[in-house]
Amino acid sequence: MEIKLVKNGIFPVTRTAGGQPMEQLPDTGYAFPGTLQGEGKLVGIPVLFIRTSGCNLRCTWTTPTGKVSICDTPYASHYPVEVDIMDTGEVADIVRANLGMIRHVIISGGEPTLQPLPLVELARYLKKELNVHITLETNGVLFIPELATHIDLFSISPKLKSSDPDAKKNRLLDYPVEQNYIRDHKKFRRNPDTLQKYINACMHKGSYYGDEPGSPPKRKSNKDFQLKFVISRESDIDEIKQDFLNHLSFVEPDDVVLMPVGGSPELLSESMYMTARLAIQHGFRYTPRLQIDLFGDTAGT
């Protein structure tokens, strides 16, 4: 089955599907495959990435000093021009040839759930044949039950009002967001029912633990989730509580991850201290964007 990835969307790798050495080194600069997960609960874990092309949102923020910061992977969302259409079997073979000691694969985008059928096939293979830990990075607008069964960590990044594209932000962009995406982003970005489905997929009825039937579900040990919010202004924290957490069950404070806005070290420096302070004050988890600290604003790292 075919899947649409960004150009060089399996990374960082050094071997072809057949196991032959590639001519070009990965963008990490290392002569071997792999990088580190840069965000969230698994920050610092060695991983391979699979990045799909295309997104149903068009996140566009304003930084504290008034600069506009779009999605940090615009080549997968805002401008998905260069793509690789690949067979899922070939994707799996490339992962297999480059896995080495790595036990974690991140399926990211763009928005991966826009391609449910090939993704289910790929995730099933990665799990059954390679027995890797799989993280799905998603904006949480869509939930695919068949896919959820193969995923170990749902890294969900629900989007706040501050991410809405608009005419004012558009004036600062070289490639403005189209009107239909301005409308749809507002309409679809918040979906508590879908978020709850992801959370429930990590739960098991109390009886599984020997509790009384009907007791509240508890977290299963082998599936987890995180709600990762991009922070660009103080008021984001009230919105997280009122518009999201108040509508969700079974979310613990350290499932809530606050991440500063910005796809470059300069932009990140504008909001990282405010974000860290909010995490401390409200008992949530802070995440850096380690990939930017280590490799800068470079795709494929």
Residues that bind ligand SF4 (CB under 6 A): 55, 57-59, 71, 73, 76-77, 109-111, 139
Q: How far is the CB of 69 from ligand SF4 (least distance, A)?
A: 10
Cβ-closest residue to ligand SF4?
Answer: 71
Give me the count of residues in the chain. Answer: 301
Nearer to ligand SF4, 111 or 255 (CB): 111
Nearer to ligand SF4, 71 or 153 (CB): 71
From CA 137, how far away is CA 89, in angstroms rounded?
A: 21
Q: Residue 292: how many CA atoms within 13 Å on its side-chain side? A: 19
Nearer to ligand SF4, 125 or 229 (CB): 229
Q: How far is the CB of 78 from ligand SF4 (least distance, A)?
A: 7
Nearer to ligand SF4, 47 or 76 (CB): 76
Nearer to ligand SF4, 35 or 155 (CB): 155
Q: Which residues contact 296 (CB under 8 A, 6 or more apart)?
A: 264, 265
Q: How far is the CB of 72 from ligand SF4 (least distance, A)?
A: 7
From CA 250, how far away is CA 210, in angstroms rounded?
A: 19
Q: How far is the CB of 185 from ligand SF4 (least distance, A)?
A: 8
Q: Considering only CA atoms, which of 12, 36, 27 is closest in space to residue 288?
A: 36
109: left (phi over 0), alpha (psi -120 to 50) or beta: beta
Q: Are 292 and 36 in contact (CB under 8 A)?
A: no
Q: Considering only CA atoms, which of 31, 35, 30 is closest in space to residue 21?
A: 31
21: three-class secondary structure by DSSP:
strand
Q: How far is the CB of 32 from ligand SF4 (least distance, A)?
A: 28
From CA 118, how far away is CA 30, in angstroms rounded?
A: 30
Angle at 164 between CA 187 and CA 39, to 5 degrees: 105
Q: How far is the CB of 298 from ligand SF4 (least distance, A)?
A: 17
User: Helix (H) and strand (E) counts for the chain?
Assistant: 9, 14
From CA 127, how far away is CA 80, in angstroms rounded?
A: 28
Q: How far is the CB of 255 from ligand SF4 (least distance, A)?
A: 19
Q: Which two tokens stand for residue 206?
A: 């109390």
Nearer to ligand SF4, 57 or 279 (CB): 57
From CA 239, how far away is CA 247, in angstroms rounded?
A: 12
Nearer to ligand SF4, 93 or 236 (CB): 236
Amino acid in position 223: K
Nearer to ligand SF4, 102 or 259 (CB): 259
What are the φ/ψ torsions at residue 141 (nearest 5 degrees)? Answer: -80, -35
Q: How far is the CB of 105 from ligand SF4 (least distance, A)?
A: 18
